[in-house]
A and B are shown apart, each in its own frame.
Chain A
C-alpha cells in the first residue's frame, strides 16, 4: 500500500490508474502545473481547476484511489504578472472545496523577479487561508539558486509554519538546506532529470527518513507513474526494512497531508460522470 503524493493524472491514461491501483496505490495528490503549453485565458485555468477537483477524483475513485488537488498558477506561466494575479484571484474559490489540500505547486522556474513576486503572493494566499503549501523547485542548473531564493522568501514572509510546507524535487545539493529549515522535502523519481530510485535511496541513507517523501511527478513528459512502487523494490533490494519502506512510501506522506483536514486515504464511492 502506498501514496503517490505528487502526480499529474490529468496527463495520464485510465490504464495508469489501473496499474497504480494494482501496484498498491491508495491515494494520490495532484498539484496544478504547466500543461505543456501556455493557457490563453484565466478561464482556461478555471476549467483546469474544475478538472482537478471534479473530474479526476471521479476517475481515481473508479480504481479505489483517493484523489486530492493543490491549486495555483505554476511558475512557468507566471511571467505575466497581471495574468498571474487574475488566475490567483480564483484560488480561494477552490481552496474551499473538500478535496483541495492547499496551494501548489508554486515556486520558481527560471528564477525571475516576476516568478519570485508571484511566489510571494501565493504564500500570502496560503497564509490567509491557513493552507498547506507544496513547492516546486527549478530544474537542473537553476535548482540550487532557486531553492535558496525560495527558502529565503519563505523566511522573509514568515507567516507559515515550516512544518506545513513541502519543498519538492530536492536532490543531493538541496535536501539538507530544506530539512534544516524545518520543512518537508520531496524527492521526485524521474528517469533523467531529477532523482533516480537508486539516488533517492542514497539520500535517505545519508539524511534519514524524517520529513521526506518520494513521488513520481508523473505527467505528460518522460516520467513513470509507477516510480514509487519501483523505488520500494529498490529499497528492498538495498536491504531496507519493511518499516522504513512503509514510512517513506505511506506514513510520511499521510502525516504531512493529514495536516489538511481534507486528506483521506479512503476513496469516495465510485460514481458515473
Chain B
C-alpha cells in the first residue's frame, strides 16, 4: 500500500470529514434499536444474548485501545476449539450464546 505501518494515506481530519456523517447515522440506528426494544410490550422479559453482545461491543468501541473491530469480532465469536458433533441448523446467529461456551 501507499503508506507504511498501517497508516491510511489520508490525515485524521480528512477521514473525519469523509466518515463522520455515516458513523453518526450508525450510532443513532443502534440507539434507536435499543429504544425500540425498551418500548416493546414484553420489554421486561430476560435480556437476549444478542442484545447483550451489542452492549459488550459498545463498551469496546468506546475504549481508547486499538483494534476495536477485531476485538468486537472476537468478543462475539464461539470460544470453543473442537468441532461440534452435529450442525445445529444452517444459520449462525451473529453472536455466541454464553450458555454454550
B77/A113 in contact, CB under 8 A: no
Residues of chain A contacted by B31 (CB below 8 angstroms):
none
> Counting CB contacts under 8 A, is A199 at the interface?
yes
Most chain B Cβ neighbours within 10 Å, of A141, A202, A244: A141
**Interchain CB contact under 8 A, A238 and B18:** yes
B43 sits at the interface (CB 8 A): no
What residues of chain A lie closer than 8 Å to B95, measured between beta carbons? 140-141
Measured CB to CB, the closest approach of chain A to B101, in angstroms, equals 10
Residue in B19, B67, B77 whose CB lies within 8 Å of A198: B19
Whether the Cβ atoms of A171 and B2 lie closer than 8 Å is no
What residues on B are CB-neighbors of A237 within 8 Å? 18
Give per-residue flags for A83-127: 1 if the beta carbon is below 8 A from chain B beta carbons, else 0. 000000000000000000000000001111111100000000000
- Given A112-B87, A140-B92, A205-B1, A172–B9 Cβ distance below 8 Å? no
- Are A111 and B1 closer than 8 Å at their CB atoms? no
Which one of B3, B70, B73, B87 contacts A115 once the chains associate, using CB atoms below 8 Å? B87
Bound CA span A238–B2, Å: 11
Q: Chain A 216-246, CB within 8 Å of chain B: the 1/0 string?
A: 0000000000000000000001111100100
A interface residue count range (under 10 / 10 to 19 / 20 to 34 / 35 or more): 35 or more
Which of B18, B88, B90, B96 counts the most chain A CB atoms within 10 A? Answer: B90
Chain B residue with minimal CB distance to A241? B2
B81 at the interface (CB under 8 A from A): yes
List the B side residues contacting A109 at CB < 8 Å. 87, 90
Quick one: which of A111, A116, A144 contacts B73, CB cutoff 8 A? A144
Determine whether the beta carbon of A205 is less than 8 Å from that of B8.
yes
- Check if B83 sits within 8 Å of A239, measured CB to CB: no
B residues with CB within 8 A of A: 1-3, 6-10, 14, 18-19, 22, 67, 69-70, 73-74, 76-81, 83-96
User: Interface of A with B (CB < 8 Å)?
Assistant: 34, 76, 79, 109-116, 138-145, 148-149, 171-173, 198-199, 202, 204-209, 237-241, 244
